Chains A and B, each alone.
Chain A
Amino acid sequence: MKDKEATLILPDGRRLDGRRPGEIRDIKIKVGILENADGSAYVEQGNTKIYAAVYGPREVHPRHLALPNKAIIRCRYHMAPFSVEERKSPAPSRREIELSKVIREALTPAIFVEQFPFTTIDVFVEVINADGSTRCASIIAASLALASAGIPMRDLVAACSVGKINGVLVLDVTDVEDKYGEVDMPFAMMPGKGEITLFQLDGVLTLEEAEEAIKMASKACMEIYEKEKSALKAKYIEARKAVEEVV
């Protein structure tokens, strides 16, 4: 349970990793790093490290799941047994089943599913190392994997968590801040459209604080959105260079 005594904000107002409350961790994004997938991405946010791969649109198995008017989206969020402090059983936990669902629902609004009836788009997310905000980093990775698979999208999806530690609202919580903090609020949106696709809260907030937290998260999503776009472009710039060298 929460240890109320834990000091997560130092006297100088900085967090344990030196960040200010409104700062996100450095993000490293690579697009298209897995050859066999139709689209893929790798996201590193502090010590949170995630791979995402997308297959599809492709034929649905089992067949009866196919829909005549749109593609189905399937998503599997999975944590590697070595990604957490104590070895985690590789079998899907209840937490992973819930996260798979909310990540799927965070991505689906961005996809033009109507364009691909009778097909499935499968999203696989693998957490290699977990240090807080893994579902948000998963959404960033999965969204870029979808885009790099060439799937028509309304917008990219960006995500960032808000926490409350020692009474202060902070962005992009780490594992320690999640464990010993008061609140974890994962959040995802289509920044270009201003629409929220994932919104969860675990912890106590007043309505005013929740409003402030949404504002902070939206702003952070905008910042991440720009990084997503440049990571996506970087893949094509690289591809172009490679072609030019050959020609």
Chain B
Amino acid sequence: MISKVRRSQIMDLLAMGSRVDGRGLEDLRTIEIRCGVVANADGSAEVRMGKTLAIAGVKTSIGTPFPDTPDMGILIVNAEFLPIASPTFEPGPPDENAIELARVIDRGLRRSEILDLQKLCIVPGKAVWEIWVDIHALNHDGNLMDASALASVAALLTARIPKATLTEDKEVNLDKSVREKLPIKGVPATVTIAKIGDKLLVDPCLDEEEVADAFLTATFINDKLCAIQKRGEKSLTVEETLKCLRIAQKKARELVAITMEGTGYGKD
């Protein structure tokens, strides 16, 4: 819900090429990444994008692989839109928005091959690492998608898991005193673009989301697309879609740099 006054303010400003919070159409909000904020998690990151706040935690366990992928670890992504994040969020199991967000982020992580799942196999067909990524929205001021995706990536990049060894009788033994990095293959970045009228804007805030016609979320890895989701009740022209992808590619490069800086990944 958004008031008519606020709606026309957003539209009038956009017509002049500016936004309610003073940003240009293709500007991201200020991003803060804090890693390792949850001592009990194997990896965690809190991401602030403007006033939007999301936290992702990585927990790991040993499980049995899926029958069709006996030599691969398992990645599971879940998202909770908590009532503390917004007056419009209700307690209960994840709704379609939370499920969609988790599944889009899951596709981005999986298809970017951020994790080398083959290296997360301990005994083929018997024991593999299960990597759980749980996303909690803490404050919703728009674009939970990108904030959650960034938090998930940062949590995975900085996670440290116990060392798994095999005992003589082929039992898995976890040495919690030794902590290892996850086998990371690349750093993906997710960018959401909102369409309002004939304008395309990066990283929409909540009020912009309320008036937006449609959204395009794209995840990039090494400058290539690996996941896309169009959302929203209206359509995009072919030209708008291609323009969105080009803008997203440019912003993804920026986000990768921010992710590396914020996590210290690649420095050690």
Residue ranges of A at the interface with B (Cβ–Cβ < 8 Å):
1, 94-95, 97-98, 100-102, 105, 108-109, 185, 189-190, 193-207, 210-211, 214, 218
Separation in Å of the B233 CB from the closest CB of chain A?
Answer: 5
A1-B225 CB under 8 A given contacts A98-B99, A195-B236, A214-B238: no
Please determine whether B221 and A1 come into contact, CB atoms closer than 8 angstroms.
Answer: no
Separation in Å of the A242 CB from the closest CB of chain B?
Answer: 37
The listed residue (B102, B103, B232, B245) touching A210 by CB distance below 8 A is: B245
Separation in Å of the B111 CB from the closest CB of chain A?
Answer: 6
Separation in Å of the B83 CB from the closest CB of chain A?
Answer: 18
Please determine whether A195 and B227 come into contact, CB atoms closer than 8 angstroms.
Answer: no
Separation in Å of the B132 CB from the closest CB of chain A?
Answer: 15
Q: Write out the residue numbers on chain A whose beta carbons fall within 8 Å of the beta carbon of B245.
A: 207, 210-211
Interface class of chain B by DSSP: mixed
Tell me, in angstroms, the Cα distance from A196 to B245 when the chains sit together: 14
Please determine whether B103 and A199 come into contact, CB atoms closer than 8 angstroms.
Answer: no
The listed residue (A109, A193, A202, A210) touching B111 by CB distance below 8 A is: A202
Q: Write out the residue numbers on chain B whose beta carbons fall within 8 Å of the beta carbon of A204.
A: 111, 221, 224-226
A214-B103 CB under 8 A given contacts A200-B229, A202-B227: no
**Residue from A94, A189, A195, A199 with most neighbouring chain B CB atoms (10 Å):** A199
The listed residue (A95, A108, A199) touching B233 by CB distance below 8 A is: A108
Q: Write out the residue numbers on chain A whose beta carbons fall within 8 Å of the beta carbon of B218.
A: 201
Separation in Å of the B99 CB from the closest CB of chain A?
Answer: 5
Please determine whether B226 and A195 come into contact, CB atoms closer than 8 angstroms.
Answer: no
Separation in Å of the B114 CB from the closest CB of chain A?
Answer: 13
Please determine whether B238 and A218 come into contact, CB atoms closer than 8 angstroms.
Answer: yes
**Residue from B107, B235, B237, B241 with most neighbouring chain A CB atoms (10 Å):** B235
CB closest chain-B residue, reference A179: B68
